[in-house]
Amino acid sequence: MAYYRGRIYTAAYDVLYYSEPFAYELFNMSVNWIPFNGMITLLAAAEDGIFVGTQNELFMLRGTTPEKFTLERISGCGAVYGTQAIGEVRSTQNSASTLKRTLFWESRRGMCSVSLDGATQINYAAEGVYSYECGLSGSGLVHRRDGMNLYISATMGVNTGSPPVNRYWETIYAGGAPTLPLITISAS
């Protein structure tokens, strides 16, 4: 669920529903909806639109109202359901420091982030560094500790897509990297 410019947006499976303007409890579900190709796994309002993620893709509905939205495909990384979290990241340019609201989530390409303050450039922080199964669902949060904002996530389930590729091992062993067994841990 997300609030954007006087409306509530909520996802159910592969459909994004939106409320009547400034009547957050009133949904005309016969006409106020936008379909997507795949289950919606991420939903976050930004300064100039709404980020909508499925398992395989990330989109932005850019515009001020549903009637004026344009659909822009941002990435093919997708989003793991439940891992989105919003935090603040300090940005320094020309000796000026600002805090930017930032969306974090897990994807097939590892941990991702994008500014909610008018940008669509995705940062793939873990790509080429860490390799792990992204899972099908999970949880994410931003925690402030010792003056730093930390994004913490946990995923579960097995993504039956292509296995992860460890870019670090590929570089070190030049394609002859040993194959590691896939280990799963269950807790009860």
Region 62-77: mean pLDDT is 95
Instruction: Measure the CA–CA gap between 64 and 70, rounded to whole angstroms.
Output: 10
* pLDDT tens string 84-128: 999 988 777 777 778 889 999 999 888 999 999 987 789 988 777
pTM: 0.79
> Half-sphere exposure of 25 toward its Cβ, with a 13 Å CA cutoff?
0
Contacts 24+ apart (CB under 8 A), 163-169: 163/133, 164/131, 164/132, 164/133, 164/134, 165/131, 166/131, 167/127, 167/128, 167/129, 167/131, 168/128, 168/129, 168/131, 169/131
Output the pLDDT for position 110.
87
CB 127 within 8 A of CB 111: no
Identify the pLDDT of residue 128: 74
Q: With 70 as the cut, is the pLDDT of residue 186 above it?
A: no
Mapped onto helix, strand or coil, the DSSP state of residue 50 is strand
- Of 110, 104, 106, which Cα lies nearest the Cα of 85? 104
Q: Which pLDDT tens digit goes with each residue over 137-182? A: 999 999 988 877 889 898 888 655 554 444 444 454 555 555 544 5
The per-residue pLDDT for 167 is 47
133: its two tokens = 């199964």
CA 154 to CA 103: how far, in whole Å? 16
pLDDT value at 75 more than 50: yes
Q: What mean pLDDT, rounded, does the chain reach?
A: 84
Mean pLDDT of 29-48: 95
